Structures are given as structure tokens and as C-alpha cells.
Amino acid sequence: MGRLPSPQRRREPGRPAGVHPARRAHLAGAVALAASSLALQATAVFQGTGTEQALKTARVVDAPRPFRDVASPSPATLSLRGVPFKATWLSIDSARSGVRGAVTGLDETYRGACAAYQLDRLLQLGMVPATVERVISGARGALTLDVDRAMTEAERRDEGVSVSDAEDWERQMLKVRFFDSLIANDRQPDTILITADWRIRLVGHTRAFRDTSDLEEQEALTRFSRSLLVAAERLNEATLKRRLDHFLSIWQIRALLERRDRLVALARDLAAKRGPEVVYYQDR
């Protein structure tokens, strides 16, 4: 199919301001290894320590004012060793400011975006763009790398664009549902970004990690990635505290583990009823 349409709707964290030529996407890698360059906007390096370091240390060229308690995701341009790249800034924190989400009116916090990225890395999910906590102009918030040349799932549906590989797409979406159930996130179609090569990237986690044991979209959880399920089973309170303690309360962490237990139990129950060969699938 041809080039994906340039999105024009409301931006979400990680949503690009426009299409950027590949040559402009190349940035230096980890600061300690300045000789090596990474294309931060490219699919292969949308996560990882080098990308995180770039987000933490790059000079802010242009970003929204005021920085504090920005309720809606806002574009930011950064520069690393003279090479510009795009990110998204989000600093809303309802607990700190009393400001609630501009669209939902619910409590929201940038910490959810940071925690979602860290959990993605623990699970090796590979869907959440690099997100770091950073202080800019005295305001603390989350900075997320933009996803280059992406359209949203909402746009794909509205414009009637067919997926290139139905089975691969379904497997990716099953992972999305599993992840959202694990983090208690009410996923909206405009927070699912689709790259030019049909990889899913996830943003929009400011209302995730609610203190509940209920599962989101339980009826849609009909098949499970073996590798993702095994990674989730390995999670424990000590590991999550080391990685997420700065962003989540102990109650949120324990609620996450309760949801994990329910997900594992659901998978085993379905496998017993329908057969493991039907319920479990291997990643391609």
C-alpha cells in the first residue's frame, strides 16, 4: 500500500508532528558512546538505554510554555549534538496539582507513562516508545520519543485501511489487550500508533495502574502469547518495586500483581477448556 496518511487529529504522547526525512532522524547514541549514532526516530531504536539517555540529556529547542501541569500531550523539539529530533512532553499530575485530564475529567499523571515504559521493558513487550522522567524549566514530567510516520488505529478504522497481515495484526492486538488488562488501562483507538511496517506502538497511559483487581477487556482475551505470559509470571513485588517504585505506590504494584494472577488463571482455564494449541501462540 502507499504511504500512510499524515495524522491531523489531537496528538497523543509519542505522536509525531509530521513526517520527518530519515536523514534528520539520526542522533548520537548513548552519551558515553558518542561516536556511534542511532536513528532515534527509527523503529529499531525506539527503546533502549541510548534512546533514554538522549531524551534525558538533549537540549530542549522548542517546547510548550508553561511546562508545569500540561494536561494535553504537547510536541517538543530537542537537539543532541546539533541534530534535532521530536518528542512529546506531558507533565500533568493530578495528585500534585488537582488538575484533571482535559478530555476525561479523571485523575491523570505523567508517572503512568513512565511506569508503562518500564514495565514494557521488563516484559520485553516492545511496544511502548522510550519515555523518561525529566525536569524542564522547573517542571517535572514525562518525555516520550515520537513515533515516525505513524497513523492511529482510529484513523485506520475511519479510513478503511486494511491490515497487511491479519494473523500478525491479531497477535499484536492480543498483546495490547493483555498489557492493558495488566496495567488497568482503558485503551482508546487514538493511543494505538501504527508504523509504516505495521508495528504497533502504544501511548496514552496517564490513567493506567489503577488500584483495582478487575481486568480490562477480559472477554477479548481469548489467546495468549507464550513468551509474554511467561514474562508476566516472572514478575514479583521485589522486581516491580526496584523498577517502578518511583512511579507507583505499593498498592498499585500489588494490584498489578493481582491482575497478573487473574490473567494467568484465565489463560490456564481457557487452555484446559479449549486446548493449549488453540489458546497459546508462539511469537513470530
Structural domain that includes position 112: 22-145
pLDDT at 123 over 60: yes
Indicate the average pLDDT of the chain: 82
Last residue of a domain, one of 89, 113, 145: 145
Query: At residue 10, does pLDDT exceed 80?
Result: no
pLDDT band, residue 96 (cuts 50/70/90) = low
Report the C-alpha gap between 18 and 1 in whole angstroms.
Answer: 19
> Pick the residue with more confidence: 23 or 56?
56
> What is the C-alpha to C-alpha distance for residues 158 and 140, in angstroms, rounded to an integer?
36
Neighbours of 227 (CB within 10 A): 16
Residue 238 lies in a domain: yes
Same domain? 134 vs 201: no
Give domain status of residue 16, yes or no: no
The residue count of the chain comes to 284
State the pLDDT at residue 251.
95
The angle subtended at Cα 128 by Cα 229 and Cα 38, nearest 5°, is 120
Total domain count, the chain:
2
pLDDT for the residue numbered 71 = 60
Among 3-17, 60-74, 187-201, name the most confident range. Answer: 187-201
One domain for residues 240 and 183: yes
CB 205 within 8 A of CB 185: yes
> What is the β-pairing status of strands 131-136 and 26-28?
unpaired
Outline where DSSP puts E strands in the chain.
Answer: 26-28, 37-39, 59-62, 74-80, 83-90, 131-136, 139-145, 151-152, 192-194, 200-202, 224-225, 280-281
Which SS3 state, helix, strand or coil, does residue 175 take?
Answer: helix
Question: For residues 27 and 126, which has the higher predicted lDDT (pLDDT)?
Answer: 126
For residue 187, tell me if it sits in a domain: yes
Q: What is the distance between the alpha carbons of residues 59 and 55, in angstroms, rounded to a whole number?
A: 9
pTM for the model: 0.81
What mean pLDDT is predicted for residues 15-41? 37
Span 72-89, pLDDT tens digits: 788 889 999 888 999 999
pLDDT at 218: 85
Answer whether 202's CB lies under 8 Å from 119's CB: no
Q: Is the pLDDT of residue 258 over 90?
A: yes
pLDDT of 5 over the 80 cut: no
> Does residue 102 register a pLDDT over 60?
no
Q: Which of 128, 145, 162 is the last residue of a domain?
A: 145
User: Residue 114 is inside which H or E element, if any?
Assistant: helix 110-123
Q: Average the pLDDT over 50-68 and give the result.
A: 82
